[in-house]
Amino acid sequence: MLLAFRLLASALTVMPLSEVRPGQQGVCITEWSGGTKISIPVEVVGALDATSPGERAVLVRLVDQRFADAGVVAGMSGSPVYVDGKLLGAVAFGWSFAREALAGVTPFEAMAAIPLPGARSAATRFQREDLSAALKGELPASALVPPLANPRWVTPLSLPGGADPLGLPATSWQALGLFPAPASALPESSEQAPTGLPEGGDMVAAVLVWGDAVLAAGGTVTARDGELLYAFGHPLVGAGSVRMPAARAKVLAIQRSFAMPFKLFAVGEPFGTFVADQPAGMVAVAGPPPQGLPLQVRVDAEGETKRFTFYLADLPLLQPLLAAYLTATSLSYNRGPNADLTVSVAVRSSFGDGSTLTLRQVTAARDAVARVATFVGALVGLLTNPPFPGPPLSSLELDLTRGPHQSANIVEVVPAKRRVKPGETLPITVRLQPFRGAEEQRPVTLTVPKDLPAGKVDLIVADGAAFAEYALRSEKASPSNFPQLLAQLARLEPSSTLVLALELREGGIAFAGLAHPALPPSLAATMSQALGPGSAQRLSTSFAQITRQPFPYPLAGAVRIALEVQPLEVP
């Protein structure tokens, strides 16, 4: 067996769970303040059967004055526990507000059995409608947090500045088993930076984001078996097969707390790649780290331009949340309060097959930063976990602007007349109510198509975002492949566009993910019959004319007015 060969090659002596007895004495090795490793006496309390379905653990007591009136320190996860000179397993969990240092230990038998490679856990599935909901404030940032089943573990997560510009409460991160803490990185030239491959008891970091910001989860190496390293003793988020940099780390200090003591650590240089995130722990392979998903960000605000470069780990379960966090962080960098702002975004997504998608959106609200960030996160979730097979997302580019709140509601639309003739130009007055401003009247025009048949027609005046959603819904065409999904996404318009459209009350059909509007009723009926029952959907309307006018700020609203097209007089 390959697994047995690896264990024999590393000369690891493992204590099987069957040999564990209450009262046995041992030692736990972990990194402490200043990067020094310490030995902590432990006493086996007993076995914990079925801590989760198919999982077992060993309960030990840490017999050390450092843990007086406190529990296990977050960041100790993975610290090896030896009993009678044999590797029992890794410290994996403790309890908040503990008055005694009791720790759950994952048996190393289970860690050694982690499959390589393993299956990848399913990520949250986002829909096109979620993008519009995010910009309207109807999709909270918490929707980007993948649901986990009440993790027992707590892992310190380095966040730049320890702040959260998304406005997520700490409980949202803790629902992932992550404890936000201030971040730091060790310079490459630092003499204090650890080098080489870590060994059992050394601090290690699973890097989620790197570049101009570092987000990393801190834990401890349990054992090294040649080029394989076992760590954490519990999952990060249980993502299964992953690819994220494994980096050296150094414990700077221990923050004591009755609620949850934790290690403050600095992230060093990567030494390999975490390839498994399983219930029994994480496994890394020494070697070059992965490249990650590039995210280029440009922010224009108050006449100043900032540029950032980030890389996201190949972790679809968390990529939407990470992309949103970085968007919000970039927009908030060295700025004032995120309130009453207008924020616009242009997202260029590139894929492994060379195809691209560019979306432009804008919103104005008290929580505009969070709305745009959530929009970016939902888009990343949709593109990295689409409902159809597609090429991988290879890079992202964001152009962001922020400024004072400017917006207007569409209050009323007044056409010069309601009886029109084909070929004529219809003057229209649009009444707008700007944000904290006096009402405005904007004159616009719409040309009636020369070939428009006599009869009823509806004039629709709406902001671009509302019109795009209505048009896509009215077509009833669900995409059936990845290119069709991209084509529908490309039709999403920013609310800073004023759309004027004439809608006919005769439609067409939709089939195979595509809409065929404005078909003569007889042809639509013939095609529906030929395609067979359930293969096509009849459309009730179609658009005869669409005109767009850009605005310098977002609009909100939609108005429908019935018009009558008169027949042309025959000379």
Q: Where are the alpha helices (DSSP H) in 238-356?
A: 319-332
Mean pLDDT across the stretch 37-51? Answer: 87
Q: Where are the alpha helices (DSSP H) in 385-481?
A: 464-475
Cα distance between residue 165 and residue 377, in whole Å: 14
pLDDT at residue 280 is higher than 90: yes
Mean pLDDT across the stretch 463-471? Answer: 95
Angle at which helix 482-490 crosses helix 128-135, to 10 degrees, equals 30
Give the model confidence (pLDDT) of 234-253 as tens digits: 999 888 999 999 999 999 98
pLDDT at residue 161 is higher than 90: no
End-to-end, the C-alpha distance of the chain in Å comes to 94
Cα 338 to Cα 67, 249, 365, 479, 513: the distances in Å are: 41, 33, 10, 37, 40
According to DSSP, residue 448 is labeled P
pLDDT at residue 22 is higher than 70: yes
Residue 485, both tokens? 């999904």
Torsion of CA 219, 225, 226, 229, to 10 degrees: -20
pLDDT of res. 326: 94
pLDDT confidence band for 208 (50 / 70 / 90): very high
Contact call for residues 251 and 32 (beta carbons, < 8 A):
yes
pLDDT of res. 376: 98
pLDDT confidence band for 330 (50 / 70 / 90): very high
Mean pLDDT across the stretch 140-158? Answer: 77
* Element (DSSP H or E) covering residue 347: strand 341-351
Give the model confidence (pLDDT) of 498-544 as tens digits: 999 999 876 555 544 555 555 555 545 554 454 455 545 555 678 89
pLDDT at residue 377 is higher than 60: yes
pLDDT greater at residue 477 or residue 80: 80
Number of Cβ within 10 Å of residue 423's Cβ equals 12
pLDDT at residue 230 is higher than 80: yes
Question: Reading across the β-sheet that carries 509-511, which strands appear in turn?
Answer: 514-516, 509-511, 537-538
Helix (H, G, I), strand (E, B) or coil at 109: helix
pLDDT of res. 129: 94
Question: Reading across the β-sheet that carries 419-420, which strands appear in turn?
Answer: 419-420, 558-565, 455-463, 497-504, 542-550
pLDDT at residue 13 is higher than 60: yes
pLDDT greater at residue 28 or residue 94: 28
Contact call for residues 166 and 141 (beta carbons, < 8 A):
yes
pLDDT of res. 7: 44
User: What sign does the CA torsion over 350, 294, 345, 163 have?
Assistant: positive
pLDDT confidence band for 160 (50 / 70 / 90): low
According to DSSP, residue 392 is labeled P
Closest CA to 274 of 304, 310, 309, 318: 318
Contact call for residues 402 and 335 (beta carbons, < 8 A):
yes
pLDDT at residue 58 is higher than 90: yes
According to DSSP, residue 314 is labeled B
Cα distance between residue 46 and residue 57, in whole Å: 9
pLDDT of res. 4: 37
pTM of the model: 0.88
Residue 464, φ and ψ in degrees, nearest 5: -60, -40
Closest CA to 164 of 179, 178, 153, 180: 180
pLDDT at residue 284 is higher than 70: yes
Cα 491 to Cα 359, 363, 469, 488, 571: the distances in Å are: 9, 17, 9, 5, 42
318 conformational bin, left if phi > 0, alpha if psi -120 to 50, beta if neither: alpha
Residue 529, both tokens? 């019959």
Mean pLDDT score of the chain: 87
Cα distance between residue 379 and residue 129, in whole Å: 10
Cα distance between residue 203 and residue 375, in whole Å: 35
pLDDT of res. 2: 36
Contact call for residues 570 and 424 (beta carbons, < 8 A):
no
Which are the contacts of 150, defined by CB distance < 8 A and separation ≥ 6?
A: none
Cα 393 to Cα 21, 94, 267, 349: the distances in Å are: 51, 38, 27, 7
User: What sign does the CA torsion over 536, 541, 547, 552 have?
Assistant: negative
Helix (H, G, I), strand (E, B) or coil at 475: helix
pLDDT at residue 67 is higher than 50: yes
Residue 93, both tokens? 């969990």
pLDDT > 70 fraction of the chain, expressed in percent and rounded: 86
pLDDT of res. 570: 56
pLDDT > 90 fraction of the chain, expressed in percent and rounded: 64
Contact call for residues 81 and 28 (beta carbons, < 8 A):
yes
Mean pLDDT across the stretch 449-463? Answer: 94
Residue 418, both tokens? 């309601």
Contact call for residues 151 and 277 (beta carbons, < 8 A):
no
Strands (E), 436-492: 440-447, 455-463
pLDDT of res. 31: 95
pLDDT of res. 66: 86
Please provide the DSSP assignment of 38-78 as one string.
EEEEEEEEEEEEEEETTEEEEEEEE--GGGTT--PPBT-TT
Give the model confidence (pLDDT) of 89-117 as tens digits: 999 988 877 778 888 999 999 999 999 87
78 conformational bin, left if phi > 0, alpha if psi -120 to 50, beta if neither: left
pLDDT greater at residue 175 or residue 461: 461
Mean pLDDT across the stretch 435-446? Answer: 95
Cα 401 to Cα 7, 163, 335, 350: the distances in Å are: 55, 21, 12, 21
Strands (E), 169-315: 178-182, 203-211, 215-225, 228-231, 240-255, 262-278, 281-286, 293-301, 304-312
